[in-house]
Structure 1
Amino acid sequence: MKQLFTRRRPTAIVILLALAVFFPVSQAAAQTMQEPAPAGSVPVDPKDPYESWNRKVFTFNDTIDRWVLKPVAQAYRTFTPQLIDRGITNFFNNLTELRNFTNSVLQLKGESAVVAVGRFTYNTTFGLGGLIDVATAFDLPERPEDFGQTLGYWGTKSGPYLMLPFLGPSTPRHFGGFLTDGFALPSAWDAVESPDVYFARAVQIVDKRADLIPAESFISGDSYTFVRNAFLQRREFMINDGKVINDPFASGDDENLMLDDF
């Protein structure tokens, strides 16, 4: 463990410095966007001040998905037996329990930390290395926690909505948490050696995209707006442990639907 943190220390320092600079800048930008717009100009939404740019990135991501990722995911759903597909999803979900545990501890959520340890122990020991989710059957449902949620727990503001190339919907807080979870905090992925880790990540991405295909039927109206609303609602739901305090984007019943995997 000491060797793990020694190897990650330079990366952790870089990320923490980036967070220290990026969050105040993004919040200042969002605050600036809240100022009254000049007469005759189109008002800027304070939660999505970069909408014009975000829509261009959304179109780019959608094109990549339509021509590359989605066809692969559809083939995966067609030729992979449901039992194997479920096992692959369970396996990758089990790897996230170390992340859930670490961030539960950082958020002072003792019960969630115990649940994460219990889930990983049960699923790894009795679930064939995580292929079977026996923990849920033992009344230990997953409690997802990430560093973006940890930042929110300690009062860090979300910042403006961002659509990132390849990565999809995000915010400065969410993206900072993503980087920290991936490079600064200990992860079960550290046990996977190259080049196997790249193959495993590719399978994980395809499996996740395949699981999202049925959710596409819920999308209605403007796809960009729907995805944005669903993502922001889902993040608020997770950060507040299931309590949605406000819904700044809700404008209809369809847009109140949340896609669990966003």
Structure 2
Amino acid sequence: MTHPPPRRLVATTLLLLLSGCATGPERDKADPLEPLNRATYRFNDSLDRHIAQPVARTYNRAVPRFVRTGVENVFSNLGDVTVMLNDFAQLRLMDGMNDLMRVAVNSTFGLLGVLDIATPAGIAKRDQDFGLTLGHYGVPAGPYLVLPLFGPSTFRDTAGFAVDQYGSPATYAKPALRNTLWGADFVSTRARYLNATNLLEQAALDRYLFVRDAYLGRRRAQLDEGRETPLPDYGQNDGGKDDVTR
């Protein structure tokens, strides 16, 4: 049986090898790799602007809304399997049973997840991953990390992502189907968040810092079971090289 390579772990290893030249006494403690992270962020941003966004816009124009919703539901249902495994790993037994019911209902009555029957039936959707499971047991997040193609992460979340791949049903499909599923999931997800990108483009701030602090704040809030975590004041810029003035 062929498993996908742990892509985030490979990227983490490469970044660690380079980290010696990217640290310094003036670095944010949560982001000691900032120069390298900024370079990776610019690389990802260029790919997103020139490839991912045009593909996502074409997808939105060419595919009817009800079909796009069905595709989103299928991948959401597959994702609920990983959520369920992590809830059980954290000994959140009631939440795990909730997730199991979601998968069972949507996979049967929802035609393999094309229809989301569970949500209107009152079976709540949850969000868990192995990075949060590690955090639940006290594993520190480690430095912030921008991964090529994958974007914001931390050392802990990178390791967690690799583990989650082994719990995903798509991993065990034949390579051709598996790669098709990954591609379709990427396009569907990118298309869904085009409006969020437009809002970010209009903000007159350092986009790198905004994305970094929003990601880290959200992860802290998830570990705190939804308690709000305030973001920093962006009124005073710290002189980052990626300030957006356009």
TM-score relative to the length of structure 1 = 0.77
Cα distance in 2, alignment partners of residues 202 and 112 from structure 1:
30
Shift of 1:239: 2.2
Counterpart residue type for residue 107 of structure 1? Q
Cα distance in 1, alignment partners of residues 167 and 149 from structure 2:
24
Cα distance in 1, alignment partners of residues 214 and 129 from structure 2:
18
- The structure 2 residue matched to 1:251, chosen from 224, 233, 236, is 233
Counterpart residue type for residue 95 of structure 2? S
Is residue 170–residue 181 contact of structure 2 (8 Å, CA) maintained in 1?
no
Please state if 1:136 is matched with 2:119. yes
Per the alignment, residue 59 of structure 2 pairs with 76
Shift of 1:190: 4.0
Cα distance in 2, alignment partners of residues 145 and 161 from structure 1:
19
- Alignment RMSD, CA only? 2.7
Q: For 1:179-211, what per-residue CA distance to the aligned partner results, in whole angstroms no more than 9, with x for missing partners?
A: 1111xx432114421211111110110001101
Cα distance in 2, alignment partners of residues 206 and 128 from structure 1:
22
Cα distance in 2, alignment partners of residues 166 and 216 from structure 1:
16
TM-score relative to the length of structure 2 = 0.82
Per the alignment, residue 158 of structure 1 pairs with 141
Counterpart residue type for residue 210 of structure 1? A
- The structure 2 residue matched to 1:239, chosen from 213, 223, 238, is 223
Cα distance in 2, alignment partners of residues 228 and 157 from structure 1:
17
- The structure 1 residue matched to 2:93, chosen from 81, 95, 110, is 110
Per the alignment, residue 200 of structure 1 pairs with 181
Counterpart residue type for residue 250 of structure 1? P
SS of residue matched to 1:134 = coil
Please state if 1:215 is matched with 2:191. no
SS of residue matched to 1:70 = helix
Structure 2 unpaired stretches of 5+: 236-246
Cα distance in 2, alignment partners of residues 92 and 107 from structure 1:
23
- The structure 1 residue matched to 2:168, chosen from 167, 187, 192, is 187
- The structure 1 residue matched to 2:213, chosen from 211, 220, 229, is 229
Cα distance in 2, alignment partners of residues 226 and 66 from structure 1:
18
Is residue 172–residue 178 contact of structure 2 (8 Å, CA) maintained in 1?
no
Displaced runs of 4 or more, over 4 A: none
Structure 1 unpaired stretches of 5+: 38-42, 254-262
Counterpart residue type for residue 104 of structure 1? D
Aligned residues: 223
Is residue 80–residue 99 contact of structure 2 (8 Å, CA) maintained in 1?
yes
Counterpart residue type for residue 233 of structure 2? S
From the two aligned structures, give the one with the greater helix fraction: 1
